[in-house]
Structure formats: structure tokens, C-alpha cells
Amino acid sequence: MFRRLLLALSLAASVACSTPVSAGDLVQLDVVDRDNGQVLPEYRHRGQDWIAGVPGHRYSVRLTNTTGERVLVVLSVDGVNAVTGQTASPSQGGYVLEPWETAEIAGWRKSLDDIAQFVFTDLPDSYAARTGRPANVGVVGVAVFRERQVQPAYAPPPAPPIASGMARNESRKASAPAASADRAMASEAEAMPQRLGTGHGQREWAPVGQTEFVRASRSPQQVSQLRYDDADALVALGILPHYRAPYAGSTPRAFPNGFVQDPPYRY
């Protein structure tokens, strides 16, 4: 049975942009190459997750709600909100996923009925660059919010504040050196010139509905992102070996073997 994806367009006031510490992802983020149906493999490199896009291929962003409650997902592509077209911020509107729901977002939202397809293209032809915002081309990200729940009449008492504070402090102490190292090691990738971006492709029918969603907190419970570029760029960064270029087999050949076939019958 067809179930329409839900859209939350209302904005939340004064939502903070800081990335919270999270024990696990509420929403799993994947990118699917729509021209071959494959989920693009992710490669961990110096603190960042990378995928190799194929120039000219359409793609979709697969969002999987791993929880038994509704969540709001603000989707950013190249630093642009995929729903509103604004420079992306967690405070903006996004997609609402039902418990355990998986949805594929295949393009820039043009209306409640249609989208403009996501397509890997040269950076100057990307939607972000063509609208004067090329600084964040090459990244797909999500900010995820839980929904505010009505508290039961007799809720169990919260954990003692001293014990909770000590646990949070220990967590921060343990994670701080690793986070600092990741930022230092990622500087090389930041210096590499970006080649690939996401274009504003053909229109496609993709209806959505609207719903109310009240966020449980002012900051997102999860912020995740995937960096992307073409295979040659990932080879130059040392992320992929030289033989892993995914579109090498599709280049034209002067001698493809075989004999001349009859042309298609013309009516």
C-alpha cells in the first residue's frame, strides 16, 4: 500500500546548531546510485566518511529511521536545504519519518508534488554553485530531531545530577583527543579542490504530505554527513586505490569487438 512521505515545513524558534554527543544514530544515512541501483560504499579516511559519485548519474539519499518513534530529518545537500532551498540550518523544515520507516529522497523539493532530481555533475554546474553558494559543495548531511512526547503522570525520577554530570564529563574527556586528531587529519582533504557537485536535474513526480511536528529539544540529537567526490579525486586523496574508478569500464573504445549489426527498423 502506498504511504505518502510526510513533510514538516514549520520552523522551530532559536534552534541551536551545536552537534550533541549521541550514543547511536537515530537515522541511518546512505546514498543510492539510481542509475545502477547500488548503495554507494563508504570509505573512512582521516575522520571523515567518503563516497565516490559517478558524473552524470542520478542519486537518492536513503534515510532509515532506526527507532520506534517519529523523527524529523533536515536534509542538507551541498550546504543547501533540500526542501526549502535555503542555506541549510538545523532550525529549518524537513522530512518526518514514521517509526522504522525508510524513505529515499531523490531530489530538490519543488512543490508538494514534484522534485528536481539529484544528479552528480561538475562543480560549476551544481545547484549550490549556480545559486552563488559553492563553499560547501561535496557533502550530504542530516540533522535529526526526536518528537516531543507527553510525559506520563508518574514518571520515574531522573538520575542524580551529580552522577549524570560526572558521566558526561568523563565522556567528553575521552572523546576530546580523538575529535582533535580527526580535525587535524581532515585538513588535507579540505585543501583538495572539489570536482563533483549535485545538479538540479529533471523534474520527477514525488508527492508528499504535510504534518505537525514538535521537536523534543532545541538542538538535534544527531548530525551526520557524508563527503563525496568523483573516483579520481578519491584516488588522489588516497581513499581509493587506482583500480577502483567505478566508471572506467564505460569509456568509449575504438575497437569494441564484434561485427556490424542491422540498425533498428524504422517505422
Residue 31's beta-bridge partner residues? 61
Task: Return the SS3 of 207.
Answer: coil
Give the contacts of 243 (CB within 8 A, at least 6 positions apart): none
Of 74, 66, 64, 217, nearest to 146 by C-alpha is: 217
For 109, 151, 234, the CA distances from 42, given in Å and listed in that order, are: 26, 39, 11
For 131, 147, 250, 259, the CA distances from 57, given in Å and listed in that order, are: 21, 35, 12, 30
Which grid coordinates are listed for 160? Answer: 542524580
Which grid coordinates are listed for 103? Answer: 524513505
Q: Do residues 40 and 34 lie in contact, with contact meaning Cβ atoms separated by under 8 Å?
A: no
The pTM assigned to this predicted structure is 0.73
Residue 43's beta-bridge partner residues? 50
Q: What string of pLDDT tens digits covers the 267 residues of the chain?
A: 334 677 875 444 333 333 333 447 999 999 999 999 999 999 999 899 999 999 999 999 999 999 999 999 999 999 999 999 999 999 999 999 999 999 999 999 999 999 999 999 999 999 999 999 999 999 999 999 999 987 766 656 555 444 333 333 333 333 333 444 444 445 555 567 899 999 999 999 999 999 999 999 999 999 999 999 999 999 999 999 876 555 555 566 676 666 666 666 655
